[in-house]
Amino acid sequence: GSAGGRGAGSAPGGGAGAAGAAALAGGGARLDDAYVLLPLYGVQGGAGEGALVNLEEVEDLLAFKREWITRELRASPDELSLIHVRGESMVPTLNPGDVILVERNRRETVSDGIYVIRMGEALLVKRLQFLPEGALLVTSDNPAYQAFRVSLREQGEDFSIIGRVVWAGRRF
């Protein structure tokens, strides 16, 4: 289905025109009943070497149609945040400067897909494959970057899954 009318610089269905783990906590400022304003954080998720997670400032708010979020993404606006992609490890799927919509607290966190993860003090945007032995295969779409494994038991101070990437937008 269509996300609705798009203007220059608009998000899906929308009106106006990446981030630390704590920064990804907020979403859902109200515009009116039909639209919701989602925070775009000034921190970038690294698709490559990683971005530090200590900056948490809201850079902008982007309007999305509430109906598009619930019907197409099957998400709650309160669980959504936007960040920029940094680096080239996810090219051609995600390019440097792309804006990604991250759904935190994803209920089915056992499905393969593209996620924002925290490793130490860095945010990374990577493709995760959940393996039967309780491990993750962390890969990049760019073949120049090597895959690595992480045990799901290691989640904690050094590693955590922040959320699943559910939408991406880019400037041409």
pLDDT digits (tens, 9 = 90+) for 54-91: 446 889 999 999 999 999 999 999 999 999 999 999 99
Q: Is residue 53 within 8 Å of residue 43, measured between CB atoms?
A: yes
pLDDT digits (tens, 9 = 90+) for 6-29: 333 345 544 333 334 444 445 555
Residue 5 above 80 pLDDT? Answer: no
Residue 160 above 80 pLDDT? Answer: yes
Q: How far apart are the first and last CA of the chain?
A: 23
More confident site: 100 or 56: 100
pLDDT digits (tens, 9 = 90+) for 106-118: 666 678 999 999 8
Q: What is the mean pLDDT of residues 114-125?
A: 90
Q: Residue 46's pLDDT is what?
A: 65
Q: Residue 56's pLDDT is what?
A: 67
Q: Closest by alpha carbon to 145, among 90, 94, 98?
A: 90
Enter the pTM of the model: 0.77
For residues 54-82, one letter each, b for 16 or more C-beta atoms within 10 angstroms of the residue's C-beta and e for the rest, the string is: eebeeeebbbbbbbbbeebbebebebbbb
CA distance 156 to 26: 21
Task: Label residue 159 by pLDDT band (50, 70, 90).
Answer: confident
CA distance 17 to 93: 24
Task: Label residue 120 by pLDDT band (50, 70, 90).
Answer: confident
Task: Label residue 103 by pLDDT band (50, 70, 90).
Answer: very high
How deeply is 36 buried, as exposed, middle or buried, from its count of CB atoms within 10 A (0-12, 13-18, 19+)?
A: buried
